[in-house]
Structure 1
Amino acid sequence: MRCEHPSRDDLLGVLSWPDEDLLELVAAVGRVRRRFFGDRVKLNYLVNLKSGLCPEDCTYCSQRLGSGADIVTYTWLSSEQTRRAAACGIEGGAARVCLVASGRGPTDRDVDRLAPAIAAIKDDNPGVEVCACLGLLSPGQPERLREAGVDAYNHNLNTSEERYADICSTHGFADRVETVQRAAQAGLSPCSGLIAGMGESDGDLVDALQELRRLDPDSVPVNFLIPFDGTPLAGRWELTPQRCLRILAAARLVFPDVEVRLAGGREIHLRSLQPLALHLANSIFLGDYLTSEGGPGAADLEMVRDAGFRVQGTDAQSLPAHRLDLVRPRRRGAGTDRPPNA
């Protein structure tokens, strides 16, 4: 099955769609979402393994170097603490646990320390996916993570290549591309997305989505900036619920048969229009995020039901069967038409 990808002009048109006709756009793009994912919504749960104390200067992040944000900081959770934290989300219906740690990237010792926690999570919950998000990966580390039982690796591109230097100076866009490629080539399911609301133009959003398309991820988180006090982007409240829906619609059209996930900031920026977003995205985070509170898990489950959807169980595949059949065998070569540092 071939999926025709929208042109740049098509995507710019979606991002400038008039508010008064927005329901028509949601209905049209929602048919694409239902074609590949039906009425399923996949729940994901974040476990913040290590908070703050990051040497990187990403301007959007409350854990950045020199951040004045009022957050809790701590070093690595123990394996038992990680297992217990993961259990909270799984009990609420999460099919994927995302293990996240601040920092530029893991040491080999950090990779090793995760193995017991991953084994415990999987022993307790057969069928639950484990996704790691640990920063930039060095050669050999993706393979070691896979051997430890990690199923997927998240590393977001966040914005366009042209704008990347505006939001971070301690690493570059090419470093992020390289990490996503390394994860995919090691057999980890690649997860990479973006952050909207950082002052980017419609063209920047389209560039970011098209670069993500070239990387061929299996899941695409769409984050909406939470402008923490104490960060350079504090006070930047430029998103409306309608703009968030247009961004999600564009993401779905670029990724018709890929998991599109409502991620950080959805409660703040979509507000009462969150149920409409489920007609575009087929995946959400349940509960809290890294350093900010999400909505009550029970309210999320109620929203899913009230919008006419159902929670995806751990026995269901996250991707359509045709994508598993046609894409997975080529996974080792995904994205290799672009040199790692191009």
Structure 2
Amino acid sequence: MDGWALLRKAQEEALEGGVSREVAEELVGLGVEWTPLLCGVAHYVRCRMCKDVDLCWLLNAKSGLCREDCAFCAQSRHHRTDVRKWELVREDVIAEAAREAAAAGAHRFCIVTSGRSLSDEEFERVVSAVRRIRGAFPELALDCSLGDLTPERAAALKQAGCSR
């Protein structure tokens, strides 16, 4: 199928509810010169199909203090970046960020920290903040990305009100 026909087919399938695997695989094979046109098709489909936006508010609660070497992360020691560094913020700072997120119409609020895992004290601070936010903003879905979690820590987050 030529590029134009493929883009038309992808647009039709997307508007009908989903692009087939075959069409998706052909799209991947298009040359880079087709990228602006593919983006145009995606924009058209988005304008037609997506009237609402699901906003997720992310709080970088602990930044740049990571000893890991993840090549994909700007905060890792693998890269030479000017990432600002700070320890885990206070519980009231986390709660205030969640209040701002809810006021801005966010559907989800995510607490993210750098490093492999949090200390026990840091973890308890996050769990306490999650409980506080859940009580104040029950409509706000709560997510956490805190590095490695034991099953016990994952259960504690879930019990406090974290959904992901």
TM-score, normalising length: structure 1: 0.38
Which residue matches 2:153?
A: 141
User: Once the two structures are superposed, what CA deviation does each residue of 1:226-282 show, in whole Å capped at 9, x if it has no partner?
Assistant: xxxxxxxxxxxxxxxxxxxxxxxxxxxxxxxxxxxxxxxxxxxxxxxxxxxxxxxxx
SS in 2 for 1:13: helix
Q: Verify the 8 A CA contact 1:56 1:64 in the aligned structure 2.
A: yes
Counterpart Cα distance in 2 of 1:141 and 1:73: 25
Counterpart Cα distance in 2 of 1:86 and 1:103: 22
* Equivalent of 1:10 in 14, 23, 40: 23
Counterpart Cα distance in 1 of 2:67 and 2:43: 44
Deviating 4+ runs (over 6 angstroms): none
Q: Verify the 8 A CA contact 1:111 1:145 in the aligned structure 2.
A: no
Which residue matches 1:113?
A: 125
**Gap change, CA 1:6 and 1:134, over 3 Å in 2:** farther
Which residue matches 1:71?
A: 83
Which residue matches 2:12?
A: none
Q: What is the root-mean-square deviation in Å for CA atoms of aligned residues?
A: 2.8
For structure 1, list consecutive stretches of 5 or more residues without a partner in the other structure. 153-342
**Gap change, CA 1:12 and 1:71, over 3 Å in 2:** same
TM-score, normalising length: structure 2: 0.73
**Gap change, CA 1:111 and 1:15, over 3 Å in 2:** same
User: Once the two structures are superposed, what CA deviation does each residue of 1:27-54 show, in whole Å capped at 9, x if it has no partner?
Assistant: 68549x83xxx52111111111111111
Which residue matches 2:63?
A: 51
**Gap change, CA 1:120 and 1:139, over 3 Å in 2:** closer
Q: Verify the 8 A CA contact 2:127 2:156 in the aligned structure 1.
A: no
Q: Verify the 8 A CA contact 1:98 1:130 in the aligned structure 2.
A: yes
Higher percent of residues as helix: 2
Which letter does structure 2 place at the counterpart of 1:133? Answer: S
Which residue matches 2:38?
A: 22
Q: Percent identity, please.
A: 28
Counterpart Cα distance in 2 of 1:29 and 1:51: 37
Which letter does structure 2 place at the counterpart of 1:131? Answer: D
Counterpart Cα distance in 2 of 1:145 and 1:106: 13
Q: Verify the 8 A CA contact 2:70 2:78 in the aligned structure 1.
A: no
Q: Verify the 8 A CA contact 1:108 1:141 in the aligned structure 2.
A: no
SS in 1 for 2:151: coil
User: Whose relative contact order is higher, 1 or 2, with alpha carbons under 8 Å and at least 6 apart?
Assistant: 1
Counterpart Cα distance in 1 of 2:36 and 2:128: 52
For structure 2, list consecutive stretches of 5 or more residues without a partner in the other structure. 1-16
Structure 1 position 114, deviation (Å):
1.2
Q: Indicate yes or no: 2:142 matched with 1:130.
A: yes
**Gap change, CA 1:4 and 1:23, over 3 Å in 2:** closer
SS in 2 for 1:41: coil
Which letter does structure 1 place at the counterpart of 2:153? Answer: Q
User: Once the two structures are superposed, what CA deviation does each residue of 1:103-161 show, in whole Å capped at 9, x if it has no partner?
Assistant: 11334543322122112222322301110011222232221110121111xxxxxxxxx
Structure 1 segment 147-296 matched on structure 2, within 5 A: 147-152=159-164
Which residue matches 1:104?
A: 116
Structure 1 segment 294-333 matched on structure 2, within 5 A: none
Q: Verify the 8 A CA contact 1:50 1:77 in the aligned structure 2.
A: yes
Q: Verify the 8 A CA contact 2:117 2:146 in the aligned structure 1.
A: yes
